[in-house]
Amino acid sequence: MQAKMTAIRKRTQIENSNRTMFVWIAGVSVVFGFALVASIFLVQMITFNERVLQEKNNTVNTLALNNNNISELESQIRVLDTNQSLIGIKSNPDDQAIQVILDALPSDRNELALGASLQNVLLANIDGLTLESLQVNSKEDTLASESNSGNEIAFSFTVIGNQEVLKKVLTNLEKSIRTIDVIYMNVEGSGDQLTMTIQAKAFYEPTRVVKLEDKTVK
C-alpha cells in the first residue's frame, strides 16, 4: 500500500513538472516570436531610413552641382553678350546677344511666325522676285511626314526670277538666324524666267522646366 502511494506521488510530481515545463516552453516561444517580429521590423525600418538618406544625399549633391554650374553658365552668357557676330544680327538693339540664339531656336512651333518671317524677311525686298506660293505645314502634316524626326516645321515655297534673284533667295535662307534644312530643290525654265521650288524644314525646342518634385521611397 505504501509503495502504491509512493508511485502515485511520483507520477503526480512528473505530471506537474511536465505541465510546468510546457508552460515555460510556451512562454519562451511567445517571447521569442515577439522578439523575432520586432527584430524584422527594426531591420526594415533601418533599411528604409538608409534608402531615404541616400535619396536625400542624391538631392543635395544634385543641388550642389547645379549651384556650381550657375557661375559657369553666367560667365558663358557674359561672353556671348560680347560676340560681335550675334550683336550684328540682333533684331532689337536693346536685346541681349543671347536673344539671337533664342530667336534662332524658338521654344514652340509657331507656323504663323515662320510664315511671316519667310514672306516678310527672307523672301521680301528682292528685286525681280515673284512669290508664287508659300505653304507652312500644320503640326499634323509635319508629324505625318516620313522625314520628320522631332521638333520640326516643314514648309515649301515656289518663286520665279532670274538666276541672280534665285541665288539671293538661297543666300537669305543660309544667313537666316533660324536653322533651315533644305531637303528638296527644283529649278525649271530658262533665261530670265526660272521657277524654283523648295521644300525645307525649320526647328524649335520646347522650353525645359526645372522644378523640385516629391519622390516616394518604398
Please state the CATH superfamily assignment of the domain spanning residues 106-203 in this structure. Ribosomal protein S6/Translation elongation factor EF1B (3.30.70.60)
Residues 183 and 153: their CA atoms lie apart, in Å, by: 12
Output 55-62 pairs: Cβ under 8 A, ≥24 positions apart.
55/215, 55/217
Residues 187 and 24: their CA atoms lie apart, in Å, by: 103
Positive or negative, the CA dihedral 105, 111, 115, 116 is negative
Least confident of 1-15, 32-46, 127-141: 1-15
**pLDDT computed for residue 6 by the predictor:** 63
**pLDDT computed for residue 178 by the predictor:** 84
Q: What is the pTM of this model?
A: 0.58
Any idea where the domains of the chain sit in the sequence?
A: 1-80, 106-203
**pLDDT computed for residue 1 by the predictor:** 58
Q: What are phi and psi of 118, to 5 degrees?
A: -65, -45
Top-confidence residue, 182 or 28: 182
**pLDDT computed for residue 4 by the predictor:** 58
Q: What is the mean pLDDT of the chain?
A: 80
Q: Is 70 exceeded by the pLDDT of residue 56?
A: yes
**pLDDT computed for residue 218 by the predictor:** 72
Q: The cell 509512493 sits on which residue?
A: 6
Coil, helix or strand for 151? coil
Q: What are phi and psi of 197, to 5 degrees?
A: -115, 130
Q: For residue 37, name the pLDDT band (cuts at 50, 70, 90).
A: confident
**pLDDT computed for residue 79 by the predictor:** 82
Query: What is the per-residue pLDDT across 59-118, written as a single tens digit (0 to 9) for each?
Result: 788 878 878 888 888 888 788 788 777 777 776 777 777 777 777 788 888 888 889 889
**pLDDT computed for residue 133 by the predictor:** 94
Mean pLDDT over 3-13 rounds to 63
Top-confidence residue, 194 or 66: 194
Q: Is 90 exceeded by the pLDDT of residue 145?
A: no
Distances (CA, A) of 26 to 18, 20, 38: 12, 10, 18
